[in-house]
Copies of this chain bind each other. A is one copy, B any other.
């Protein structure tokens, strides 16, 4: 594989991924493709999205998707978290859990990688924590209400370096990197 496309229009993700894959020896390029979001598990949604992306561009490519799984909701809102955040806000996410003792949650980044139409891989980067009242920056999504378990800080309270180190996204990106390195060598 000489070249791989990251399906995204997000400048931050482009920068982050470029850094992570800098020494892998595979050229990375970017393309924005509008793809439908399916319902289902994070793995299913990402796998199908990667397949669709491959159908469109006919080049090895990958997509990523973020979700937030509440223990008390047995993994939901999951891939639907953006709809709940939009409709209910940060405090609303807390209120959904008011009647449940378990405030535990897992932040998940799933990457779907399509090397060909039939050769699709998924990688799940997960970080555990708790849903808490908003603390820190509310600039990005649900960062302010997800308290990472080890540090006791919300993503909104972390600098970008700390966050990359422990984050679901950092983990998934690292898994992709290792896979590509292995694939290249193996």
Report the minimum CB–CB distance from A106 to chain B (whole Å): 14
**Interface 1/0 per residue, A84-116 and B, CB below 8 Å:** 100110001001101110000000000000000
Whether a CB of chain B sits under 8 angstroms from the CB of A162 is no
Contact call B38/A37, Cβ cutoff below 8 A? yes
- Contact-size category for A: 20 to 34
**Interface 1/0 per residue, A66-89 and B, CB below 8 Å:** 000000011111111001100110
Whether a CB of chain B sits under 8 angstroms from the CB of A39 is yes
**Smallest Cβ-Cβ distance to A78: which chain B residue:** B83
User: Which residues of the partner chain B approach A95 to less than 8 Å between Cβ atoms?
Assistant: 99-100
Distance between Cα atoms of A82 and B40 in the complex (Å): 11
Distance between Cα atoms of A95 and B92 in the complex (Å): 14
Distance between Cα atoms of A79 and B87 in the complex (Å): 14
A residues within 8 Å of B by Cβ?
A: 36-40, 48, 73-80, 83-84, 87-88, 92, 95-96, 98-100
